[in-house]
């Protein structure tokens, strides 16, 4: 029997220019009156989350991570009203670029609370991709719509060809205040295992919730106690809990 939980896909804009990153957030909430134990593997890599995407031509595909990981189950107990949440990096997935054609896309997410349970689905949401209309977004698309660069960001330093560092560096240097440039710098830090890349100013502007969504979109909650770039948010309780895949109370939103 499927637990009394809901799945909701949020933070999907009405439209984005081709080449801009999209950051939907998946929220799993306990709608019942009793505690429930569910998976907190809210990412495309470990198999508990599946994204259905219908492109402008009407063709439906299933988005999975660029790589898949056969990891051990990880669960969390949600009290009544508590939720877990994670960003989903959909710009580049198992089949390459997701939003490479101008037009309307329909997204729906399925979530397995347990390996033996049927999936719980979100409502479908629509996203329209447009052509870049100004010089900045045109230049941005020239940097982000590069296969090796997008793949490296999706992998966040895992199995990344060192030759892509130049592309990531250019993206980070040209667009330091945009999410695309900030994430390129974030991935460079993960790739080099370096603490010299300081994104505190960017994270401060984004705020704790947006920052947590971007980080969870690229890093699973596995190994949340390791001293990675998650340390940027150690003083922000709600963000830290989201990043570690821990429950968040409604009153903390």
- 83-115 residue pLDDT tens: 989 999 999 998 999 999 999 999 999 998 886
Residue 229 has pLDDT above 70, yes or no: no
Strand ranges for 83-148 from DSSP E: 83-87, 92-93, 96-97, 103-111, 120-121, 125-130
pLDDT at 118: 83
Q: To the nearest whole percent, how much of the chain has pLDDT over 70?
A: 80
pLDDT at 61: 94
User: What's the pLDDT band for 191 if we cut at 50, 70, 90?
Assistant: confident
| Entry field: residues in the chain | 253
Task: Note the pTM of the prediction, 2 decimals.
Answer: 0.84
Residue 194 has pLDDT above 60, yes or no: no
Are the CB atoms for 89 and 23 separated by under 8 Å? Answer: yes
Q: Does domain 5-252 have CATH number 2.60.40.10?
A: yes
């Amino acid at each position: 029997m499927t637990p009394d939980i809901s799945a909701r896909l949020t933070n999907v804009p009405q439209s984005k220019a081709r080449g801009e990153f999209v950051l939907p957030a998946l929220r799993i909430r306990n709608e019942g009156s009793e505690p429930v134990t569910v998976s907190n593997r809210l990412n495309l890599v470990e198999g508990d989350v599946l994204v259905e995407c219908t492109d402008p031509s009407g063709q439906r595909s299933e988005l999975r991570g660029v790589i898949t990981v056969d990891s051990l189950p990880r669960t969390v107990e949600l009290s009544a009203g508590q939720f877990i949440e994670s960003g989903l990096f959909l710009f580049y997935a198992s089949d390459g670029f997701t939003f490479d054609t101008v037009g309307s896309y329909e997204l729906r997410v399925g979530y397995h609370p347990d390996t033996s349970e049927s999936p719980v689905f979100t409502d479908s949401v629509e996203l329209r991709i447009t052509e870049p209309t100004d010089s900045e977004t045109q230049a941005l698309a020239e940097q982000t719509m590069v296969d090796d660069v997008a793949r490296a960001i999706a992998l966040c330093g895992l199995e990344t060809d060192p030759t892509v560092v130049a592309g990531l560096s250019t993206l980070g240097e040209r667009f330091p205040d945009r999410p695309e440039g900030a994430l390129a710098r974030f991935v460079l830090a993960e790739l080099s295992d370096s603490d010299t890349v300081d994104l505190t100013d960017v994270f401060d502007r984004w705020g704790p919730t947006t920052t947590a969504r971007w980080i969870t979109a690229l890093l699973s909650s596995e190994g949340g106690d390791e001293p990675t770039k998650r340390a940027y948010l150690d003083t922000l309780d709600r963000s830290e809990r989201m990043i570690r895949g821990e429950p968040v109370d409604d009153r903390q939103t």
